[in-house]
A = this chain, B = another copy of it.
């Protein structure tokens, strides 16, 4: 007993974590012990053999590949709408919407909810966002429910522009505020139909 074992096992853990592709033989050499000792250590620490470790890494990669699905069609669920007047949608912040490190919602999801609500409230076949002025008032965490309220401020038929204000709340606190200048391309067409 070279006054080690615990130390060696601690280092073993870290070494394997850092490089799962290392064999018992290489480990034995590295720590100046026999292969059998390394195997006993792995047994005690429940570290699987090289091949299992590699397999695990490979499988995880495969899962991840599917995981990176981006934004959905419409973000949030619309629960109330009065065309050309106002609309409300809710959006539950889940795991896939947040940064891994701190569980804070990525800005573009909060934006997406507000933006798609602004699109929806416009009484037109086709509404596009022309400009937006937005502020993220506070960060939203995983598990919170964001309620976005859109209000149509001004409809300028001449220019085909509509100003929509969206305020988003989580826990009754304002988390996002945005002013969207929306463009209606089909306005004239629609008017003709009437």
Residues of A within 8 A of B (CB): 20-21, 51, 54-55, 57-62, 64, 68, 70-73, 75, 96-97, 99-102, 104, 106-109, 111-112, 115-116, 119, 125-126, 128-136, 139
Closest chain-B Cβ to A45's Cβ sits at a distance in Å of 21
B133:A133 contact, CB within 8 angstroms = yes
Residues of B within 8 A of A58 (CB): 20-21, 54-55, 57-58, 61
A126:B112 contact, CB within 8 angstroms = no
Q: How many copies does the complex hold?
A: 2
**Can you name 14 A-B pairs with beta carbons within 8 Å?**
A21-B59, A54-B54, A58-B58, A61-B64, A70-B96, A70-B109, A70-B112, A75-B108, A101-B126, A104-B126, A107-B128, A108-B111, A131-B135, A133-B133
A interface, over-half SS: mixed
User: In the complex, which of the residues A58, A115, A128, A131 has the most CB atoms of chain B within 10 Å of its own CB atom?
Assistant: A58
Given the interface contacts A73-B106, A108-B108, does A134 sit within 8 Å of B131 by beta carbon? yes
B62:A57 contact, CB within 8 angstroms = yes
Beta-carbon nearest neighbor of A131 in chain B: B135
